[in-house]
Amino acid sequence: MFSVAVMAIIVTVCFGDVRQGQDCPNFEVPLLNSIDAPLVAKLDMAKLSSQLNYTFTKKYGKFSTTHKLKDETKQLNVIIEEKVKNVTMELTENLRTPTVTFTARDLKFDSNLIGKTLIFPNLIVNFDDGYDNTTGVFTAPYSGMYLLTVQLCPEMNDSIHAFIKVGNGKILADLNFRNNVGEHGPCVSSNGVDFLTKGDKAWVFCTHANSNGDVIYIGGHGNSFSGTLIHR
């Protein structure tokens, strides 16, 4: 396409010059082959026109219109401009980071957690629908760098050990906490950044708790799982 651009520009310049009876310094040599050099100033316009047309037709295919060469050059320029616009748009689209963000709050169940995926049912945001609030599993809608965070609030004197797992079960974040501070907190969080391929999963898995009873304080809204696509 860029060789077309160069060609089109050369033809525009030369055509203008020739009309004014001047030399055409930028003319490509192959185009001048059969033109008598001393006669450049008195060029036969029909001959030049048909030669240029021949060169174009040979290189870029037949022009179906009866437009003059100048118009054909304009047409080429329009096509080139459109192509450049198209390619620019494609590039911009490919570089853009789509909005993928979820925050899911509260716990579907707060006892009997050991060996389970924690499910956060209340969606605060879920752009691009990556988080499934019935299974607790996030599925990456695009490949890219994701930040994932979990926050949990153990009951007083209870402990919980949970992971954010990604892909085929790799541990991305490790939350291990025993609350001997207060009855309504504190809540603690853990997070990690990782590259997820489109379709990869992420979830919060409870590997251990001090009991299978009620170990999580759900009175506030401190329990949450969130994620954001930082960039692709």
Ligand X SMILES: *[C@@H]1O[C@H](CO)[C@@H](O)[C@H](O)[C@H]1NC(C)=O
**Toward ligand X, which CB reaches closer, 179 or 190?**
179
Burial (CB count within 10 angstroms: exposed 0-12, middle 13-18, buried 19+), residue 6: exposed
Among 156, 181, 193, 230, binds ligand X (CB under 6 A): 156
Report in angstroms how near the CB of residue 220 gets to ligand X at its nearest: 16
Q: Could you give the CA distance from residue 174 to residue 191 in angstroms, rounded to a whole number? A: 8
Among 10, 35, 79, 114, binds ligand X (CB under 6 A): 79
Interaction pattern, residues 36-65, with ligand X; x per rule: CB under 6 A: --------------x--x---x----x---
Q: At what angle do helices 2-19 and 45-60 cross, to 10 degrees?
A: 180
Q: Which stretch binds ligand X (CB under 6 A): 27-35, 77-85, 188-196, 206-214?
A: 77-85
Q: Which residue has the tokens 């006892």?
A: 111
Report in angstroms how near the CB of residue 29 gets to ligand X at its nearest: 22
- Which residues on adjacent β-strands are paired with residue 86? none
C-beta nearest to ligand X: residue: 121
What are the contacts of 10-19 at 24+ separation with CB within 8 A? 11/52, 11/69, 11/73, 12/70, 12/73, 12/77, 15/52, 15/69, 15/70, 15/73, 18/43, 18/45, 18/48, 19/45
Tell me if 82 contacts ligand X by CB under 6 A: yes
Q: Which stretch binds ligand X (CB under 6 A): 23-31, 76-84, 184-192, 222-230?
A: 76-84
Point out which residues bind ligand X (CB under 6 A). 50, 53, 57, 62, 79, 82-83, 86, 121, 123, 133-134, 156-157, 183
